[in-house]
Structure 1
Amino acid sequence: MKPELSLQLLDTHAGGDVSRIVTGGIDPLPGRTVREQMAYLRDDADGVRRLLLAEPYGIPEMSVDLLVPATDPRAAAGYIIMEVMGYPIYSGSNTICTATAVLDAGWVPKREGRQRFMLESPAGLVQIEAVVRDGVVEAVTCGGLPSYIHTHRAHIEVPDLGRVTYSVAYSGGFYALVDAAELGFDLTLDEERALARTAHAIVEAIQAEQGFSHYTLGDVGPLPFLHFMGPEERVAEGYVRSRSATYVHPGVICRSTTGTGTSARLALMNHEGRIRPGDRLETVSLRNTGFIGQFSSETRAGGYRVVNNTITGRAYVLARSEIVVNCDDPLVECDGLHHILSSRNST
């Protein structure tokens, strides 16, 4: 009998964005840090990402998070983020989902009330605060990456759109930030396809014109993301709400507003002097889900005003499952995959 290859999964979503957490079935990866293990997956074992984000197992709108043992003793677990565009070093929605998964799967024992622990992402350690009531994870707050504005209110000519005003933030990836109303959008669900087409055109124009470099990370690739900003509504003192939509890949508008998109907005508000430490921004998606970003403090680095922040959201467990990886299936590509899959003999 051929050995049966399988993966153990826990499917979750935060704000509508599905994160498929791989809890078992992958052999230990080489690398002294989670960042090095991510690089190994990217360069030598990309088949895991391709398998779980393509037919017949998944769709490009999903994300995949591989749980790995932490290499830093202060962290309870490590995780590697995989998306259709590649391997982001950080993601707020994926972190919220992963934190919920490690609690649900018992990697971190649940305790009623508030509990804190750390996860190790490819970007480094992430502080997690979870709220558990009656055994259910009702909220997760995670540290957002230090975020800053690289470019403020630049202009670019975009085919079929004309002159577009945009800013560029770094918040775990480079984001173009644009005013939705200036482009004729109300940020309603029926605009989703048009938003994706518009964002793709703007991102392509920006990529063709220039690249962006992080002050410590250097070249992190071409600008991949765009965040549409709706009008800001003052809900209470120090609390603002805004409809939002985040583009991440041709044809793909995230179901949620994304944690990194929310961090990028906080950086812009700080750059423009419209927010103070302790203030919060709630971003609301096309599907009326939301994340809350809180501006913690500002530091100076690389000549930029860098915003330290947190993101709060909730993840829901959708399914616990085991999938069988059948390399004889013509729809399944096992290249770059089977050398890291744990195997067990069929019975």
Structure 2
Amino acid sequence: MESEEYAPMSGSNTICTATVLLETGMVPMKEPITQLTLDTAAGLVTVEAKCEGGKCKSVAFDNVPAFVFELDYQVLVPGLGEVSVDIAWGGMMYVLVAAASVGLKVESRYSTQLVEIGERIKRAVQATYTPVHPVNPKIKGVSILAFTEPLVEENGCKAAVNTVVVSPGRFDRSPCGTGTCARLAVLHARGQLAEGEVFKHRSIIGTEFTSHIRGTTRVGGYKAVLPTVAGRAWITSFKQVVLDSSDPFPEGFRVGDQWQMAPSSLL
């Protein structure tokens, strides 16, 4: 679940969910490898967890096919002019933007600008282009944006940094699983990443997912890749959420200090 939508698929949350299911015993853990299948709105996702001493040492998932809608799509952004973006599906609909193309870097010191400009670019794309999943037309429209740094060669594999801007304006602290899958599709479409090559994707805080393209296929009329992404999660707390019948805000609330919305949408 994202701040403003129920995402069809989330890679980091897949890793987290598998870790919780296994480490709490909700699903029996088998060492050294436990395999399971998760049902998501985007489709079935298979998971392979490496387990030792009752802990998940890493979790890899075979995601649904990822593919590119547009490469180098030109969008006019107020205050910025024309910006070139890629639009791809990786389990969510992504706008991918080279940070350098708008004078930024994926670093914490640029956080305010990354969030503000990222939201502006995304809104501009939403106003001009609506991708529709060719198999599930209920999934449509871009909802998330990734700023990317260039691909580099590193210790025999390829690597890059990114940060994902989630509405109404915050970063994904993980390298982003579905974002990694969308990036794999873009890199493959550009001839920059071959099937089987390892790609390490890093977040703005330095966390890392390891990924590769395990094969290719087609989704509707689009060439697609079959992405596999691996990472690790840790349980940090156990919480109990309750609903009191006398609570005047049973569905929660939004105020303008955090939620950047039109005044009519706020309390």
Q: Same fold (TM over 0.5)?
A: yes
RCO comparison, higher one (Cα < 8 Å, 6+): 1
Taking the aligned partners of 1:147 and 1:334, their CA distance within structure 2 comes to 34
Q: TM-score scaled to structure 1, two decimals?
A: 0.69
Taking the aligned partners of 2:237 and 2:170, their CA distance within structure 1 comes to 23
Taking the aligned partners of 2:232 and 2:80, their CA distance within structure 1 comes to 36
4+ long deviations beyond 4 Å: none
**What residue in structure 2 maps to residue 173 of structure 1?**
92
Choose which of 216, 222, 226 in structure 2 pairs with 1:298: 216
Choose which of 229, 241, 250 in structure 2 pairs with 1:333: 250
**What residue in structure 1 maps to residue 264 of structure 2?**
none
Alignment of 1:60-99 (within 5 A): 82-99=1-18
Aligned residue pair count: 252
Taking the aligned partners of 2:73 and 2:42, their CA distance within structure 1 comes to 28
Taking the aligned partners of 2:214 and 2:204, their CA distance within structure 1 comes to 27
RMSD (CA atoms): 1.6
1:187 is the counterpart of 2:69: no
Choose which of 228, 234, 250 in structure 2 pairs with 1:316: 234
1:157 is the counterpart of 2:76: yes
1:286 is the counterpart of 2:221: no
Amino acid at match of 1:263: C
Taking the aligned partners of 2:60 and 2:11, their CA distance within structure 1 comes to 9
SS of alignment partner, residue 192 of structure 1: helix
Question: Gaps (5+ residues) in structure 1?
Answer: 1-81, 336-347
SS of alignment partner, residue 216 of structure 1: coil
**What residue in structure 1 maps to residue 148 of structure 2?**
229
Question: Gaps (5+ residues) in structure 2?
Answer: 253-267
SS of alignment partner, residue 300 of structure 1: strand
Taking the aligned partners of 1:112 and 1:210, their CA distance within structure 2 comes to 47
Choose which of 239, 251, 267 in structure 1 pairs with 2:185: 267
**What residue in structure 2 maps to residue 102 of structure 1?**
21
Of Structure 1 and Structure 2, the greater strand share is in 1
1:120 is the counterpart of 2:50: no
Taking the aligned partners of 1:324 and 1:156, their CA distance within structure 2 comes to 45
Given that residues 277 and 295 in structure 1 are in contact (C-alpha distance below 8 angstroms), is that contact kept between their aligned partners in structure 2? Answer: yes
Given that residues 67 and 185 in structure 2 are in contact (C-alpha distance below 8 angstroms), is that contact kept between their aligned partners in structure 1? Answer: yes
Taking the aligned partners of 2:155 and 2:143, their CA distance within structure 1 comes to 33
Taking the aligned partners of 2:94 and 2:42, their CA distance within structure 1 comes to 17
Given that residues 233 and 242 in structure 1 are in contact (C-alpha distance below 8 angstroms), is that contact kept between their aligned partners in structure 2? Answer: yes
**What residue in structure 2 maps to residue 276 of structure 1?**
194
Using the TM superposition, give the Cα deviation of residue 222 of structure 1 relative to its aligned residue in structure 2, in angstroms: 2.4
